[in-house]
A and B are shown apart, each in its own frame.
Chain A
């Protein structure tokens, strides 16, 4: 199987669909079924009953009467029921209708002249010749049928045609008179072969009369096994139940017909037979009540077995269940390394790794087995046991406390032992929806008490996980090859840099960033006790020398502490996330302590925040992963996050609504500025009404008004935010979070403290609801700010009723939008994956498909692996320049800024994080969803 790397590719050239003829049904039938009874009093299958042993075996020990095989050898065999009267196959009513309408009621010929028929035939052949697929040929035949159906009189025998209609689901009428299935069948029989070809049917394999059943195929018992309940009663499969119904009615129909019963009775029974055969195929046929179990549960018949999410296709063929896997709720554990996963003891006892017994390990393996399936260590802690011992012949022996000693003795070279998980085992960890390769990464096991999977918070971003009830899956690898591959390719640290944008996807979040900020901002310093506490979390044994002395006391600067975990030769310069926005000079940057300068592993200045260690943006992470390798980056993330948490624990950190307190004076200022803005809009409306408004080029007068009003009100909100912001300094917790990039934005804050601002639907001021107004609280035709969705209030002050309503209108759009966007992008992703899933980048850089033909001559056209690129570029010129020339931050920063702008956007797009403009509805998840 592994001998040829090229592999054997076989392509399906064509698939042929055909109808089963009654003859073929009888030919493939192992037995005719005549009786509705299944088992006799002794529990043996009755001959020619639905459980006839010619149909295969489901009970171990018995042999199949058709092929002689036992349970595992016999594939099962079909039987058949001869129907007393023909019935229509529900699956083909549409085709039957088309055929009845397109052919003559008397002579059965297609209702087209010979000339027309030839033309359509030629057209079909041409389409086929041009490489048209089934659907394209289908268009032609559909057109043919439509043309034929139009004709009122047969061009061949001159017969006047009736109007054939279909009474759903299976009753055909001609000019109101009912056509029995028998009549339908006779008509279909009359259609000549050559006319069928014109309609796109191949009469060799699909004669239309076969769509009206005279014999019903009975599936093998293996398809509908009966189950024996604990009470000893037998419970039959739904299909068997349905077939019993068919047989019963079929029998009564035959008896009544043969006895010459009144036509009415025969017809009733015939219709009943039609009902049962119809529901046997599809128990959700519209127009008829579904057949039910005695309990009232609708039966699951053939179509129900295949259709839908739980159907054969989606549940059994596209998706399969696997062993050696576990699923449970996740919770955070900042102590774990990013490449570890905490596994509950209960799960670890179920999940096993196969260990092959060799000379070198036979003794220790015997010891394991001897300990049984649930051993404890000397301190009562978890120790791995053995669940199964597999002999060389493949027999599995379950290890129990009782048989452990005996089984252990029997273990020798060649045996395989299924050992429970131990710390350090490599497993795959996954969270749905698995949208990118970082959704499934390899972690090392840490067996732990309690019932959740636990992992480091820095790994939340790639999985897009949080802990509000999210569950994740874990898979234990079963072969050496798989484990080796996972270790090399799939471990968490190998995925710190994302192939999506060439930056880190794993890194600090929330408190990690706040903590780093508190640790490193300006002159933050720590006492001996504090430093001991922080450094005790990471593997630094020796206290560095204190770098600040004040008032006779020794202090350690946060920057020095942070420097302790940086590589000794690291040098870089970048802008902190807290840096004031806009084009600012070096002086302002330095004033805010937002120009990070690291030289030889020492932070000389600057604040470490989101731009330093944050997921998606962390420059230090990026450089470490790139220049020092995944393991160094892993260690850095582990230590950096722990240190940040240490710092935040010492400083203490909380936020509350009082973080948005602003002085009365400021409130008054905000109110004033809002009032002015509203008055300005008022004035605008006035001049619009007087017709004095100056029209903007390319816009109507109404549009001009709207644009101008939006502009004024937008500015008003920003101004309110600015006024509020003046009183919210960097010592404010909410501001720390927003500026450092830990959580929230300044816009969020200004909406809480200042004003929420204009609500919009489809980018326009609110206008719909009542006739010419949004709410009955306003005058009809009021175009002022308040009447059209401007919310003056702040979240903190609370909203007026009308404002609240407007806010709900605007918020709803956001929700609908995200819902639509996720479903649409999900479908798009699926189609892309289906199209690209088996493409491969070959050693020569070409992208090829399974047939080894070239799809792309060079991967990505430049052959660059995006996860090794620098934000998509093959070479980081800035970095090289810095290394060669030394620092020159001012011009360099400008370049970086442009790049940042572009890749910050990609990240936002991916996670459907709401952009700054529509933050009002941020992450208010509906409670039902985890």
Chain B
């Protein structure tokens, strides 16, 4: 890894959601896991997170917190998928 993409100005904050919190998140959104937007395991952001959190299996959820022009701060979630 040449550099930490999370430190780039244009990359929003990504955090691994603890497995015990995942269900709470899904329940709040009233959705199932497969309805989440996806992020690949090969995504540079996941690679960085794996350095911090250890291996991240498929099916884990990532919280993306970004600065929003309309809402100030907005939260989104991603489902980790293979490859």
Instruction: List A residues at the B interface (Cβ < 8 Å).
Output: 130-131, 844, 846, 848, 852-858, 860-864, 872
Does B51 sit at the interface, judged by CB under 8 A?
no
Query: Which residues of B, 19-37, contact A by the 8 Å Cβ criterion?
Result: 29-31, 34-37
Check B34–A857 contact: CB distance below 8 A: no
Q: Which residues of B contact A862 (CB under 8 A)?
A: 68, 70-71, 74
Grouping DSSP codes into helix (H, G, I), strand (E, B) and loop, the A interface class, with mixed when no group exceeds half, is loop
The residues of B that contact A844 with a CB separation of less than 8 Å are 29-30
Residue numbers in B under 8 Å from A856 (CB-CB): 76
Instruction: Kindly count the residue-residue contacts between A and B in the assembled complex, taking CB atoms under 8 Å apart.
Output: 39
Q: How far is the CA of A854 from the CA of B35 in the complex (A)?
A: 6
Contact A858/B71 with A130-B83, A131-B83, A844-B30 known, Cβ cut-off 8 Å: yes
Q: Pick the contact of A861 from B37, B68, B83 — CB < 8 Å?
A: B68
Q: Which residues of B contact A852 (CB under 8 A)?
A: 35
Residues of A within 8 A of B75 (CB): 857
Determine if B68 and A857 form an interchain contact, defined as CB atoms under 8 angstroms apart: no
A861-B34 contact given A130-B83, A846-B29, A854-B29, CB 8 Å threshold: no
B37 touches A854 (CB 8 A): yes
- 6 A-B pairs with CB atoms under 8 Å apart are A844-B30, A852-B35, A853-B35, A853-B36, A857-B77, A861-B70
How many residues on B have C-beta within 8 angstroms of the other chain's C-beta atoms? 16
**Which residue of B is nearest A864, CB measured?**
B70
Q: What 11 new A-B contacts, CB under 8 Å, besides A857-B77, A861-B70?
A: A848-B35, A852-B35, A853-B37, A854-B29, A854-B35, A854-B36, A854-B37, A857-B29, A861-B74, A862-B68, A864-B70
- In the complex, are the beta carbons of A857 and B76 less than 8 A apart? yes
Q: How far is B37's CA from A860's CA once the two chains are assembled, in angstroms?
A: 16
Which residues of B65-83 are within 8 A (CB) of A?
Answer: 68-71, 74-77, 83
Contact check, B70 vs A860: say whether CB atoms are below 8 A apart. yes
Please, which residues of chain B bring their CB within 8 A of the CB of A848? 35
Report the Cα distance A130→B30, complex, angstroms: 32
By a CB distance below 8 angstroms, the chain B residues around A853 are 34-37
Q: In whole Å, how far is B77's beta carbon from the nearest beta carbon of chain A?
A: 7
Query: How far is A863 from B75 in the complex, measured between Cα atoms in Å?
Result: 13
**Given the complex, which residues of A lie within 8 Å of B74, measured CB to CB?**
857-858, 861-862
Interface centre among A848, A862, A872 (most CB of B within 10 A): A862
In the complex formed, the residue of B with least CB distance to A129 is: B83
- Tell which of A130, A852, A855, A857 has the most Cβ of chain B within 10 Å: A857
Q: With the chains together, A856 CA to B36 CA distance in Å?
A: 10
0/1 per residue, B43-72, Cβ < 8 Å to A? 000000000000000000000000011110
Point out which of B70, B74, B76, B77 has the most chain A C-beta atoms below 10 A from its C-beta.
B70
CB distance from B68 to the nearest CB of A (A): 4
Q: Cα distance A864–B74 when bound, in Å? A: 13
Residues in A with CB closer than 8 Å to B68 are 861-862
B31 partner, pick from A130, A854, A863, beta carbons under 8 A: A854
A36 to B77, CA, bound (A): 67
Q: Which residue in chain B gives the minimum CB-CB distance to A872?
A: B70
Instruction: Write the nearest CB–CB distance from B32 to chain A, whole angstroms.
Output: 9
CB distance from B28 to the nearest CB of A (A): 10
Q: Within 8 Å CB of B71, what residues of A?
A: 858, 860-863
